[in-house]
Amino acid sequence: MGVHRGSLYRDFAADVLAGRDELYGEVINRFTTERLHSYYLANPEIAQRALWALGQAKLLLTTHPEASLVFAVTAAEVGLKSGLLKPILHGLVHDEALAVIIAELVPEQRNKQFQKLLFGILRELGGLDLQTFRRLAAGPTLWDEMQQAQSRRNGVVHRADGVTPDDARLAVEIAAIVVESLFPQVLSRLGLLTDASLRVTGSKP
């Protein structure tokens, strides 16, 4: 069974990494919105860990900027990857076991073609284009800001670098956009309801 699942993943990854022009349209056509809805409804508290990390980042902002930044970047990563990208993979893959395997690999997957595929589906179905979305009209993209914050987080964690209060504040603002704004917006676009605590409460009538 393990060999079978591994070969299935390699076949899937080979298609993604090949960057075939026809792959994107094929995936969009085969995407199962019902599976996506089922995933969210079966995991109504999917945003809670990201929301908790964001809360910690806010609490630590004025007293411990380094810790605040680490929690903020964690919140943004968890909100994006676990709250949005993992469910997309469950909508893509019809084999439940394979969906779990691939979803677990999302945080480690840095291939540009893989990102393009997932972000493209998020744009088409959820109305969020991470490659162009900006917090400020004249500023960098949110994705670029996230990567810069991740670099600062890595400096704190791996080299004990210090950060400025402004660095931490920016990281908190980025995380707040991802968790408190984009997550419920995308789910609403997908036809799902969330409450004030970002729990998924059902489908729109």
Cα-based distances in Å from 16 to 5, 33, 74, 92, 161: 17, 20, 27, 12, 37
Q: Is the pLDDT of residue 1 over 50?
A: no
Taking the domains of the chain in order of start, what are their residue ranges? 2-203
Which position has the higher pLDDT, 167 or 111? 167
The pLDDT tens digits for 110-156 are 556 666 766 777 887 788 888 888 988 888 999 899 999 999 999 99
The pLDDT tens digits for 4-39 are 444 444 455 455 445 555 555 555 555 667 778 888
DSSP letter, residue 108: G
Res 159: pLDDT: 96
Q: What is the Cα–Cα distance from 10 to 71, expressed in whole angstroms?
A: 33
What phi and psi values does residue 164 have, to the nearest 5 degrees? Answer: -85, 160
Report, as an integer, the average pLDDT of 101-117. Answer: 58
The pLDDT tens digits for 64-75 are 999 999 999 999
β-partners of residue 108 are none
Cα-based distances in Å from 20 to 11, 17, 113: 13, 8, 9
Report, as an integer, the average pLDDT of 162-168. Answer: 96
